[in-house]
Copies of this chain bind each other. A is one copy, B any other.
């Protein structure tokens, strides 16, 4: 079983955390993406934590998990903190393949996506 864990920073504003959980649900609802399960987890300030999110996926049968950082830049959170959190569970479950994908900000699609947001707004004039 193959799973994706979307990892966000987490916010004191519960609405922002809920946006991330809704995004994970929206990802799960797409067809043909190759993941049997998609869940959200948070680096801090919200639940579940990254280790707890990984453990829940493993408990539900995940044998391969891809962690996708929902972050725009390669700051300390992406470079150090997320790998360190993931490593805790790698050590507990050496039989499960856990990898960290490139963070959102690296996506090739980003320039087009941002131009699309601007064009949609500008189309009324």
Q: Which residues of A contact B (CB under 8 A)?
A: 2, 4, 6, 8, 11, 13, 15-16, 19-20, 23, 26-27, 30, 33-35, 38, 64, 66, 68, 70, 72-75, 97, 99-102, 104-107, 109-122, 125
Contacts and interface: CB of A to CB of B under 8 A. Distances in A.
Contacts of A109: 109, 113, 116
In the complex this chain forms, how many copies of it are found? 2
Given A73-B19, A75-B16, A105-B19, A64 B115 contact: no
Contacts of A117: 68, 101-102, 104, 106-107
A101 B120 contact: yes
B114 A6 contact: yes
